[in-house]
């Protein structure tokens, strides 16, 4: 595509920024299609079901009793902002999948939120240390507008895949589209490949 007449970059490019993204610095924009729900942590649960040997549900306290881990790095929203050098705490999705016992070697996962929001992910994108159920951000509890009490965190994909207020991961042997994917967004969403919309 042609050069835009008169346009020059104003910012130094940070190598951590995928193409087409800009750095929001200390800000953390909120983007949600729905009303922010108020979820009582003591009533929140996280379940793994679908093609697993032992469909399992953990309460808030049970999930916190699992081995905890943190993610330190960057996050990228499809609306072109990235937040660099941030961190989250929670439990690795690997821990939950291992406990439930996967019945498939490859496949897909559908994440579901209290609001009914869904997003689909390849199984390989949520295992191997790539995904978390996160309940803290930079050392403080995750606030409701950012998905608290707990959200899915899949930081190597665009952030709509990191479903807020997540309550269920369903393991499937086939792919099904979630909320934004049905509305024109990409099924995988790799920011380094700029997989923003269907067809990218």
Partner 1 sequence: MVRSVGRDGPRFAVLRLEVDDRIAHLPGQHYVVRLRAEDGYTASRSYSIASAPGDDLVEICVKQLANGEVSEFLADVVQPGDELEVRGPLGGWFVWDGESPALAVGGGSGVVPLVAMLRYARETGHRDRICLVAAAATHDDLPYVDEILGGCNVVALSRATAPGGRPAGRLSADDLRPLLRPDQVVYVCGSAGFAEATTRLLVDLGVAPTAIRVERFGPSA
Q: How far is 132 from 67, CA to CA, in rounded Å?
A: 12
CA angle 150, 152, 154 (to 5 degrees): 145
4 binds partner 1 (CB under 8 A): yes
Instruction: Name the DSSP class of 105.
Output: S
Closest distance of CB 132 from partner 1, Å: 23
- Assigned token pair, 70: 């943190």
**Binding span for partner 1 by CB under 8 A among 11-19, 47-55, 64-72, 121-129:** 11-19
**Binding span for partner 1 by CB under 8 A among 16-24, 57-65, 94-102, 119-127:** 16-24
Q: How far is 120 from 178, CA to CA, in rounded Å?
A: 5
Name which of residues 93 to 152 contact partner 1 (CB under 8 A): 115, 145
Question: What CA–CA distances, in Å, run from 198 to 80, 150, 180, 192, 195?
Answer: 17, 28, 10, 16, 8
- Of 20 and 128, nearer to partner 1 (C-beta) is 20
- Of 5 and 174, nearer to partner 1 (C-beta) is 5
- Of 112 and 115, nearer to partner 1 (C-beta) is 115
- Assigned token pair, 109: 């996962």
Contact residues: partner 1, CB under 8 A: 1-11, 13, 19-20, 22, 24, 27-37, 79-81, 115, 145, 179-180, 182-184, 197
């Amino acid at each position: 595509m042609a050069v835009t007449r008169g346009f020059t970059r104003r910012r130094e490019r940070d190598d951590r920024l995928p193409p087409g993204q800009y750095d929001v610095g200390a800000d953390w924009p909120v983007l949600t299609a729905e009303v922010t729900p108020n979820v009582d942590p003591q009533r929140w649960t996280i379940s793994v079901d679908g093609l697993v040997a032992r469909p399992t549900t953990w309460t808030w306290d049970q999930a916190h009793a699992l081995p905890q881990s943190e993610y330190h790095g960057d996050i990228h929203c499809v609306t072109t902002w990235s937040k660099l050098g941030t961190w989250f705490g929670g439990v690795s999705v690997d821990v939950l999948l291992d406990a439930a016992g996967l019945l498939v070697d490859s496949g897909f996962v559908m994440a579901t939120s209290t609001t009914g929001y869904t997003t689909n992910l390849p199984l390989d994108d949520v295992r191997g240390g790539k995904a978390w159920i996160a309940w803290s951000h930079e050392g403080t509890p995750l606030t409701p507008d950012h998905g608290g009490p707990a959200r899915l965190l899949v930081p190597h994909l665009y952030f709509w895949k990191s479903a807020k207020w997540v309550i269920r991961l369903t393991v499937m042997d086939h792919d099904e589209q979630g909320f934004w994917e049905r509305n024109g967004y990409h099924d995988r969403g790799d920011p380094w490949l700029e997989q923003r919309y269907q067809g990218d």
